[in-house]
Amino acid sequence: MPAERLSRWLAHQGLTSRRGAERLMREGRVLVNQQPAPAEGRMIDPEADVIEVDGRRVEPRGSSHRYLAVNKPIGVVSTVRDPEGRPTVMELAADAKGLYPVGRLDRDSRGLLLLTDDGELALRLTHPRYGAPKTYRVTLAGQLSAAQLQQLRRGPVLEDGPSRPLRVRVLHQVGERVELLITLSEGRRREVRRMVEAVGSRVVDLERTEFAGIRLGTLPEGAVRDLSGAEVSRLRSGVGLD
């Protein structure tokens, strides 16, 4: 098994987040082969090294998959590679070999995108059968009438069939800008933008803030973080894998 950064490995075991693991090391609570782990962390061999936290050995949970959350900026495409030479989301992650995006986020949209090498999980998260919810903060140009809002909530009919939003909530409506929170269980191409256009409005900004229970939170634009073990378990149980 290849070497792995200790903080990432501890996070994958479901003990804490990667940042929490770094705190445990700074506090001297993590031992590697009976020696305190350096505060700045280290590389380990999970098969050969003995890892202890607070005096208890941490056993591998048997998965070598990786799970990342990315805050995708506008202008970055959600593909492994792009024949037109545009920047891809893979370039944001260090050592992204073997990973691929879970679904897509339009080039002109921003926000939460997941990367993994867990093919079974990725398939279920993007398959309509499992209805993994996705939430978007959407800014519209101009006012939105009560009739338009009602039409959005009912789900306007698009060229590939009726849309079925789980929730549409108004966050702010001031001057010439309206902010909505829209949650969908589908993953059709540019569905939010097409829904808004179908009721006679236009999207000026679209940010995905949550996907299948994983939240973007305060992750800076362009930044990447490992999912915690608890987050991975929540993803898997949400699509019937655990």
Q: Work out how many domains the chain is built from and give that number.
A: 3
Within a domain: 190 = yes
CA distance 194 to 103: 18
Residue 62 is predicted with a pLDDT of 54
DSSP state, 240?
A: T
Whether residue 170 contacts residue 149, with contact meaning beta carbons closer than 8 Å, is answered with yes
CA distance 238 to 129: 12
Q: Is there a single domain that holds both residue 161 and residue 137?
A: yes
Q: Average pLDDT, whole number, for the chain?
A: 89
Q: What is the pLDDT of residues 167-201, one digit of tens each?
A: 999 999 888 899 999 999 987 889 999 999 999 99
Higher pLDDT pick, 89 / 9: 89
Q: Is there a single domain that holds both residue 119 and residue 227?
A: yes
Q: Could you tell me the pTM of the whole model?
A: 0.75
Select from 242, 228, 234 the least CA-distant residue to 13. 228
Q: Is there a single domain that holds both residue 191 and residue 142?
A: yes
Select which of 82, 106, 117, 205 is catalytic.
Answer: 106
Within a domain: 62 = no
Q: Is there a single domain that holds both residue 153 and residue 111?
A: no
Catalytic: 49?
A: no
Which residue range(s) make up the domain with 90?
67-129+217-238
Q: Is there a single domain that holds both residue 81 and residue 17?
A: no
Distance of CA 177 to the CA centre of its chain: 27
